[in-house]
Amino acid sequence: MKNILFATKKWLLILPLFAGLFACNDKLDIKPQQSIDASTALTSPENIKTALVGAYLKARSAYTFGCSFNEFSELLAATSDMNFIGTYAQPREIIQKEITVTNSYVENCWIDGYDLINICNTLLDPETLSVLENQEDRDIVEGEAKFLRGWVIFEMTRLFGLPYEPGSQNTQPGIPLVLTPTKDVADAVPVARNTVEQCYAQAIEDLTAARDLLPEQNGVYATTYAASAVLARLYLQQGNFTNAATEANKVIESGLFSLTANPLQPFNIKGSSPEVIFALQNNIASNTASLTVMYASLNGMGRGDYDIQPGFLAKFDPSDLRGRLQEDTDPSYTIADITDMYYIGVGTILNNGGINTSKWGDYYANIPLIRLAEMYLIRAEANFEKGGSPIGPNTPTQDVNTVRARSLAPVYTDAVTQAQIRAERYFELCWEGHRLHDLKRWHSNIGALPYNAGNLVLPIPFREMEVNDLLEQNPWYTGQ
């Protein structure tokens, strides 16, 4: 990937030149062609659809949805339940909450996040959309581009900005909102950070439009229900419980998704799963393996850098499948030999002998980003917090028990409490990138740090601060 820096002119060139947009050599088996020459880019419906596939490939980057959005959240939230035992400096800084402004993981997250936004902006350019004469094609391209743009704006705002505070004006800096294409140097201009409120509003606008444009079924690509699911997640983060429950309920009651029989079944699969609402597509020829690299320790798979602690497993009821540990592993084991949610690592690449999660155990399996179980838990929490008549057919207790019953955990016979709902999210969604954001919206301390501590947000990368005088650094990092 090309990244062009004009330090002497103090330009923020957030993105590489337009010619680099389609330079990716990765191959997915879902479309026959995925790279095109810049001279003919976006001049035909076929090339526009190719560019859309390129947007999904960029979303699968190890520095955005393919790994970093997950690991930044889990590492910053970690205190005693997960340790980093690897040798890389970047994740060590993050788990220790001592991130430097030159941390390359953070810098690459910023670069790839804005690369993705720019691809979406280019697809959403009226000149581009006008090439599509078929209204259905135009709606799908616009819907998928707005889905990806709105989602990445939401995720980056949560990571680079202080938490959204319900009932406040949320004038704290978020990220720069860049909504027009950067095609050449002339488009590269200084951009200031928008407020968190403005960033959330833009993400909602994009995702709502995507929800209304996209079909119910769209192969491996985003659907109206994927957009509703991300909206449910966003509204929950805002404390907008009515809208969160409404969007989650829409997904659940669609009847298109169902919980698998075992909580491990939605993971490490190369096809579809009835529980997965949206997944990034991996295969042997084209994949992002970083989650497995960091979380797994198996024969030929993973470094075992993220080591789950026994105290975490002790929090589960003994009958709960989500807390089971497989101890009879040997060096020949691949993920196909793992039947429990956790196992004793056997990999030879770096670390073994620790406890590893089974959620990420195959370089070539798809990466599930949204599951139906999360929608049940969003609906449960949102209905509980808003009070009154629940949205949907279930009470919060019934929704929580639906998830617990699948895992053979004892169901609750009394009305579920706030603490039980919150614990259930951790049990079900751990190591999927939710923990930091949950703790922040609950105003829960992370170790000795308050939920809104300055070192629980990412720094604006040094590279960006150097080329753009309009950018404001997050206060905890101003001395670096």
Please tell me the predicted confidence (pLDDT) of residue 40. Answer: 55
Please tell me the predicted confidence (pLDDT) of residue 363. Answer: 98
Q: Is-same-fold flag (1-214+448-480; 217-264+371-444)? A: yes
Q: Each residue of 376-414: b (16+ CB within 10 Å) or e?
A: bbbbbbbbbbbeeebbbebbbbbbbbbbbebbebeebee
DSSP 8-class letter at 298: B
Q: Give 223: exposed, middle or buried? Use CB within 10 Å, 0-12, 13-18, 19+.
A: buried
- The answer to whether the CB of 63 falls within 8 A of the CB of 108 is yes
- The answer to whether the CB of 91 falls within 8 A of the CB of 291 is no
DSSP assignment of 136-182 equals HHHHHHHHHHHHHHHHHHHHHHHHHSPPP-TTS---SB------S--
- The answer to whether the CB of 396 falls within 8 A of the CB of 416 is yes
Sole residue written with tokens 């980057």? 61
Instruction: List the structure tokens of 110.
Output: 């910023």
> What pTM was computed for the model?
0.92
Give the residue extent of every domain in the chain. Answer: 1-214+448-480, 217-264+371-444, 290-363
Instruction: List the structure tokens of 40.
Output: 């003919």
Please tell me the predicted confidence (pLDDT) of residue 184. Answer: 73
Q: Give 130: exposed, middle or buried? Use CB within 10 Å, 0-12, 13-18, 19+.
A: exposed
- The answer to whether the CB of 66 falls within 8 A of the CB of 290 is yes
Q: At what angle do helices 372-386 and 418-429 cross, to 10 degrees?
A: 160
Please tell me the predicted confidence (pLDDT) of residue 185. Answer: 64
Please tell me the predicted confidence (pLDDT) of residue 113. Answer: 98
Q: Which of 153, 174, 152, 151 is nearest to 162 (CA)?
A: 174
CATH of domain 1-214+448-480: 1.25.40.390
Please tell me the predicted confidence (pLDDT) of residue 25. Answer: 34
Instruction: List the structure tokens of 390.
Output: 């629940």
Q: Which of 143, 87, 99 is nearest to 120 (CA)?
A: 143
Distance CA 293, CA 306 (A): 10
- Give the distance from CA 248 to its chain's centroid: 17
DSSP 8-class letter at 118: H
Instruction: List the structure tokens of 243.
Output: 């809208």
Run means of pLDDT, 10 residues per run, the chain, 480 residues: 29 34 35 43 89 96 98 98 96 98 98 97 96 96 98 98 98 97 76 98 99 98 99 98 99 98 97 97 97 97 97 98 97 97 90 94 98 99 98 98 98 98 98 98 98 98 95 95
Q: Which fold has domain 217-264+371-444?
A: 1.25.40
Q: What is the CA radius of gyration of the chain?
A: 22
Please tell me the predicted confidence (pLDDT) of residue 153. Answer: 99
Q: Which of 271, 277, 263, 302 is nearest to 402 (CA)?
A: 263
DSSP 8-class letter at 31: S
176 Rama class: left (phi>0) / alpha (psi -120 to 50) / beta: beta
